[in-house]
Amino acid sequence: MTDRRSRTKPWGGRFRERTDPAVERFTASVHFDRALARHDIRGSIAHARMLGRTGLVPADDVAALVSGLETIESEIERGEFPFDPALEDIHMNIEARLGQLVGPAAGRLHTGRSRNDQVATDLALFLRETSTAARRGLVELRQVLLERATEHLDTVLPGYTHLQRAQPVRLAHHWLAFVEMLGRDADRLGDLRARLAACPLGSGALAGSTLPLDCEDTARGLGFDAPAANSMDAVASRDGALEFLAAVAICMVHLSRLAEELVIWSSAEFGFVELADAFSTGSSLMPQKKNPDVPELVRGKAGRAVGNLVTLLTVVKGLPLTYNRDLQEDKEPVFDSARTLRECLEVTAGAMATLRVDTERMRQAADDSLLLATDLAEALVREGVPFREAHDAVGRTVAHCAEKDVDLRSLTREDLAAFHPSFPADAAELLDLERSLEARGGPGGTSRAAVSAALDRVRAALDAEATALDAEEAALDVGNES
């Protein structure tokens, strides 16, 4: 008969039966939550030092605990830590190893602490660090886009609506649109820090502790602003993770839109750009193929990020207060989205930095007189014609050109008068590409002066953002060492 019993549960004497091996496998999380190891050790060191300062743990034991935890961190960094799936999670693995290293003193570490507030604290530390790293990746990608935009200030291409040629724009203006989108993504990730400012440690399982813990001390030691205001909220809430997943999902959608354009623009039908060989792949059958697999994968991975957000929203939506084991399902979506975003930012920056632009092909596509039809209508508006009347007149003019297969610019003032008597000049005089671009000099416009000013503004903003991130990362490093 097969013995279906497993080892004794590691957290006390309440249970008389051993855990079924199938349950051990089903509930184990150490294969993914080991990503929290460094944050768990940091939180445990801060907790141990607080216990020493309050007199709850003797100073010698605190020194042993801190030394043992630092040894464990080194073992994990070297890939030598003996992970045991039967111990469920990273927290119990660390605690068990600590017992092997320092003996009975290890049993003091969990004084005044539950895995509930421990996990919530670890996750908050992870989210703060990961959000900062994601913002660094966003700065680097936007700097690449800024460099390419500066290089192509005078490159003109059609702007599109409904994937139909609409009006001419500068390529710099086009790429700066993505800089703006990604900047808002960075802001969202930065805003998250305000919702991760309270330290859950000290909340216990849900109701706090009867012991004289100094939660302010622990919070300061871990870089939080203050202890959590409500112990039940501290262990039950995952809105920080939800906000992170939402910010990543939106960012991945923006990256997907940029990737979609790289896919389309690199097709023979467009021929606007060519991806570098280092960011392309070939076909297993067709030797002539150069496939845009990198942007295609970025586009596809956006679905993972959206799905991860929906996963955690669904997990949390029906949970009563406070902690429920369902919340173990918060980590894999968070870890996956963090990794996905990091990798997509890196390869997108590489692809954009090495992209070859066919400026002549873009210019030819933009040099279509129909793209200036709105300018023709606005010429009538300047003559006092109501816009709807002008729109109708130009629409009939365009229909005539399409029917007769003639270029709109070829129409004389007399030809135009057949559609409206107020046209002030020949179409060729009214429809000039460069003049059209330069006329759009208002805020957010595509004139050379407006785009140049936007480039300068973005450059200054990115420099300031990078400097602020340097300080934030330095503070994180100090906190990790404390």
Active site residues: 162, 283
DSSP string, 339-350: HHHHHHHHHHHH
Nearest residue to 463 via CA among 131, 43, 140? 140
438-477 b/e (C-beta count within 10 Å ≥ 16 → b): eebeeeebbbbebbeebbeebeeebeebeeebeebeeebe
Compute the distance between CA of residue 253 and CA of residue 168 in angstroms, rounded to an integer: 25
Phi, psi of 460, deg, nearest 5: -65, -40
Residue with tokens 């990256």: 255
Q: Are strands 198-199 and 226-227 parallel, antiparallel or unpaired?
A: parallel
CA 311-314-318 angle, 5° bins: 150
Q: Give the Å distances, CA to CA, from 401 to 46, 65, 370.
A: 76, 84, 10
CB 204 within 8 A of CB 119: no
Contacts of 276 (CB under 8 A, 6+ apart): 351, 354, 355, 356
